[in-house]
Amino acid sequence: MGADIVIGLQWGDEAKGRFVDYISENYDVIVRFQGGANAGHTVIVQDKKYIFHLLPSGLIRKDKIGIIGAGVLIDPDILLEEISFIEKELGPLEGRFFIDERANIVLPYHKEEDFLEESSKKGVGSTRKGIAYAYRDLYMRMGIRLSDLKDVNWLSDRLKTAAEFNNQIIGARYGHVPFDWKVMRDELLIFFGQIRPYVADTVALFHSYLEENKKILFEGAQGTMLDIFFGTYPFVTSSHTISSGAPVGSGIPPTCIGRIYGVFKAYTTRVGKGPFPTELTGEEGKYIREKGNEYGATTGRPRRCGWLDLPVLRYSAFVNGVTDLVMTKLDVLSGLEKIKVAVHYKLDGKKLRFPPTSILDYERLEPHYIEMEGFELEGNERSFQELPENAKKYVNFIEEELKIPVKYISVGPRRDQLIVR
Ligand code: IMP
């Protein structure tokens, strides 16, 4: 089997970037398959911090190929910025970075609508990158794909229609002045000239990589509870964040998938609005936020913090088909006297082992916790045996509950602060 997947099991920000950076050593090709510049993958290499929004973070390794698949939304400005940043740091990307020409583009009116919607407080607390609105156009068959930029007449026709529709919405809803499709078209043509060396039919590339026995790693963005179908709808993002999204968003068949690495933090966070059963609104939440530096990599927003939620992990492990668990940021819990874990919920007197399906039920949900003894970590523990007894008990408890091995545990942000069991 040629392809494995790294996926987030909570509400995003599970520190997937650092795990992808570590595990990508064993792969030839790293692939983004959904979402867009709403993601923020932070990687620290030799005390240097890299934040990627669009490029696969595996590109940090100079011998790897990075691919942006058909399911990803392209934000032209951010793409150019990241390409130029990484080329300055690591040399030319031509020949080792490709974007699928089927990928859709986030246009200025998508970002504007997202901004206006959020500013009017009607939104879900989005990252304001225009994601929902660009996917809306895509599913209405009104999106602009990279391949549309190859022919100016075709592009003009498509963009004129799409701009008319979007201008009507932002005009009627917010009185916004219309965007000029000709200006956008000219900008898009310049943009296409700049990215042309990287644009490809990546399905054909995947086919040849698999024939050459190259190993492919999918890098998920956001998390399972933000999935458009299986997350806490409507407080979700607009893409398929679960493992099944990887074949969909890349064109690689599901039969090629082998391992599925499910990444979760030793506690829980979420940004934006929406249900969060184990949220801590008091001092403990603040402690975790400050110690874990829980501020958004994309927006800088403070993240909401809370205890680990096993119903969420049980559900996520199932819908993703997780084979290996990756626990990150265990060191952040260090210093707490007691640590709680939600093992199930109660809803109207009934015990629930999975999250409810309706957003309305979350309001009446009561998490049932067990309490565990705290521990102190130094961050220099390099094996499971070196962890304090209470930290081991914490990891073992989660493993027993989920019946999936916790194979990796991070005790700090650096590459070497990852315990492999
Ligand atoms: P959007 O994806 O910008 O439309 O935002 C929809 C919801 O997903 C909001 O609650 C965002 O905070 C959340 N979200 C989007 N991307 C990320 C991410 O990379 N990490 C965590 N939350 C995210």
- Judge whether 399 and 326 are in contact, CB under 8 Å: no
Q: Which domain holds residue 87?
A: 3-101+198-260
Residue where a domain stops, chosen among 208, 225, 260: 260
Query: pLDDT at position 20, please?
Result: 92
Residue 254, preceding peptide bond in cis (omega within 30° of 0): no
Q: Does one domain contain both 307 and 399?
A: yes
In the residue annotation, 114 being an active-site residue is answered as no
Query: pLDDT at position 94, please?
Result: 95
Q: The tokens 């030793």 sit on which residue?
A: 266
Q: How many CB atoms lie within 10 A of CB 233?
A: 16
Count of the separate structural domains present in the chain: 3
Q: Does one domain contain both 313 and 408?
A: yes
Q: Does one domain contain both 288 and 377?
A: yes
Query: pLDDT at position 123, please?
Result: 84
The closest-lying atom of ligand 1 relative to the alpha carbon of residue 273 is: 10
- For residue 368, what pLDDT band results from cuts at 50, 70 and 90? very high
The closest-lying atom of ligand 1 relative to the alpha carbon of residue 298 is: 19
**What residue owns the CA closest to ligand 1's atom 8?**
237
Q: Does one domain contain both 157 and 226?
A: no
Where residue 273 sits, what CATH number does that domain have?
3.90.170.10
Residue where a domain stops, chosen among 156, 171, 194: 194
pTM of the shown model = 0.96
Distance 140 CA to ligand 1 centre (A): 22
Distance 286 CA to ligand 1 centre (A): 21
Distance 78 CA to ligand 1 centre (A): 17
- Cα–Cα nearest to 313, from 350, 358, 268: 268
Tens of pLDDT, residues 103-126: 999 999 999 999 999 999 888 999
- Cα–Cα nearest to 301, from 267, 269, 334: 269
Q: Is residue 296 predicted with pLDDT exceeding 90?
A: no
The closest-lying atom of ligand 1 relative to the alpha carbon of residue 127 is: 3
CA–CA distance, 142 with 148 (Å, rounded to integer): 11
| Percent with pLDDT over 90 in the chain | 91
∠ at Cα 278 (324, 19), nearest 5°?
30
Annotate 52-76 with DSSP letters as a single string: ESSS-GGGGSTT-EEEE-TTSEE-H
Mean pLDDT value of segment 344-362: 96
Angstrom distances, CA of residue 221 to CA of 101, 140, 143: 20, 23, 21
Angstrom distances, CA of residue 395 to CA of 180, 233, 327, 341, 343: 56, 30, 8, 11, 14
- Cα–Cα nearest to 352, from 362, 344, 364: 344
In the residue annotation, 331 being an active-site residue is answered as no
Q: Does one domain contain both 300 and 214?
A: no
Tens of pLDDT, residues 47-72: 788 888 999 988 999 999 999 999 99
| Percent with pLDDT over 70 in the chain | 100
Q: Does one domain contain both 43 and 189?
A: no
Query: pLDDT at position 40, please?
Result: 86
19 CB burial (10 A radius; 0-12, 13-18, 19+): buried
- Judge whether 41 and 298 are in contact, CB under 8 Å: no
Strands 308-309 and 338-347 come out as parallel
80 CB burial (10 A radius; 0-12, 13-18, 19+): middle
CA–CA distance, 56 with 406 (Å, rounded to integer): 24
Where residue 166 sits, what CATH number does that domain have?
1.10.300.10
∠ at Cα 178 (176, 181), nearest 5°?
150
Q: Does one domain contain both 213 and 268?
A: no
Q: Is residue 18 predicted with pLDDT exceeding 90?
A: no
**What residue owns the CA closest to ligand 1's atom 16?**
38
Identified catalytic residue from 4, 21, 41, 100: 41
What residues does ligand 1 touch, defined as CB less than 6 Å away?
11-13, 38-40, 124-127, 129, 131-132, 221-222, 226, 235, 237-238, 271-272
Q: Does one domain contain both 298 and 331?
A: yes
Q: Does one domain contain both 170 and 311?
A: no
- Judge whether 116 and 96 are in contact, CB under 8 Å: no
Distance 272 CA to ligand 1 centre (A): 7
Q: Does one domain contain both 94 and 16?
A: yes
Distance 7 CA to ligand 1 centre (A): 15
Residue where a domain stops, chosen among 177, 194, 211: 194
Q: Does one domain contain both 349 and 243?
A: no
CA–CA distance, 312 with 265 (Å, rounded to integer): 12
Mean pLDDT value of segment 246-271: 97
The closest-lying atom of ligand 1 relative to the alpha carbon of residue 131 is: 4
Q: The tokens 């039919």 sit on which residue?
A: 201
Q: Does one domain contain both 85 and 150?
A: no
- Judge whether 12 and 222 are in contact, CB under 8 Å: yes
